Amino acid sequence: MNKIARKIFLTLSTLSVFNFFFNKITTLTIFDYAEELLLLFSFAILLQGIWSRRKLALMHIAVFVFLTYSIVISLIFGLNRSFIEIALQSIISIKFFIFLMTFVMLFKNHIWEIRKFLFWLLAFAALGVALHLLLGEKFNAIYGVSKYARPNIRYTGFFRHPNHLAYLAVVFIALTLDTIKKKNENISLQGWLKVMIGVGVIILADTRTAILAIAILFTVFYWDYLYKNMLVFFSFIFLGMLIVFGVLLFTNLPESIMDNIEMSYSLQSDYIRGLMFYMSLLLIAQYFPIGSGAGTFGSIFAKDSQVYKDFGVSDRFYFVEEWGIYDSNFASILGEYGIMSILLFTYLFRHAYWHLRNNFSGTKPSPMLKAMFWVFVFFCISNPMLTNSVYIIMSIPAFLLIANTEEK
């Protein structure tokens, strides 16, 4: 039974990650519901597992505490008055943690299946990149993806958005470095080649978040080594300064970031991520300390929300067409849960980290686990990491492999 459950779960996971691809090659509507089926199946697995073992992990309790808080506080003080919408949005907001618990429950003693799953996921993604490189703009036309706002093609491969591809490249680099670290080896030419391939894919995707995330990944992963070796530490700082100088001299990245920041602090802003972040700050102050409640801002059930009407943005293109308003989990969480969101999600992430450590790492976890958690949190600023199944399913199997210090 467990073997069948694992196969069903991985099949639904694959359909969710490459949902856009499967919708392009077939007219079957089942692919539109892969994420919903995966979430329902996750609940079934969790309930069956908890019932059969008669035991709750701290992670299970943490999720239950959040759901109880979110539903009760939103019903009493929130702007959304629908119990069903509040309950569903509360669940969707922590989809990452629900999937994490399910992956751990199913694959704790079957980590080799996760390794195989990630291998084929990476291989299929690589095929998509190769075809996109080969066909260029013809691929965009055939596959039905736009070139996006940059002057050059932003490569997507078989994904819907270049950010998906860039994040997978970050995951690939993390897995490469973690494998080398666990073997107690120095990084070889082959290792450097893999890292460079990952960086190359990020450049092709032209994703600023991923470029900055690589710096976070390397810094956190190698921090203990840098801290204990001052010469290396100062060399690392010098290298970082050279990279920053190169970015300032040869790219428009700093100007682009500053322009986005300057456009953010106005309700008339055309930079939707900045606008959402600005409104989240206004909501923190207006509904201190608990926010506007689940299903009211930057989330699926916030369509036609009173919040948008109060700010006078409900008739703008972004909100009518629902374009870009779901991109930032960070903004949505701050707006819906206020200053309490910092405590709530720190609580959840801390328990998620220890849930992985306790189930896979023994007494000595890989430093890459903490590094990837920081990268994941950083991506939440401009991407729906906690709610989008593509990001979630690319992340959790990698977390399991990184957390695992002994093959099971």
pLDDT of res. 241: 64
341 contacts 329 by C-beta, under 8 angstroms: no
Return the top range by mean pLDDT from 66-70, 254-258, 303-307: 66-70
Residue 204 within any structural domain of the chain: yes
Residue 283 within any structural domain of the chain: no
Residue 300 within any structural domain of the chain: no
Residue 299 within any structural domain of the chain: no
Residue 70 within any structural domain of the chain: no
pLDDT of res. 407: 52
**Model confidence at 87: pLDDT above 90:** yes
Return the top range by mean pLDDT from 70-74, 181-185, 220-224, 232-236: 70-74
105-144 residue pLDDT tens: 999 889 999 999 999 999 999 999 999 989 888 888 887 7
pLDDT of res. 107: 93
Domain count across the chain: 1
Asked which of 92-96, 258-262, 357-361, 376-380 is least confident by mean pLDDT, the reply is: 258-262
Q: How confident is the model at residue 233 (pLDDT cuts 50, 70, 90)?
A: low
Residue 363 within any structural domain of the chain: yes
Q: What is the pTM of this model?
A: 0.88
Residue 238 within any structural domain of the chain: no
pLDDT of res. 251: 55
pLDDT of res. 153: 78
Residue 209 within any structural domain of the chain: yes
Range of the domain at 42: 2-55+94-221+340-403
pLDDT of res. 374: 95
pLDDT of res. 268: 72
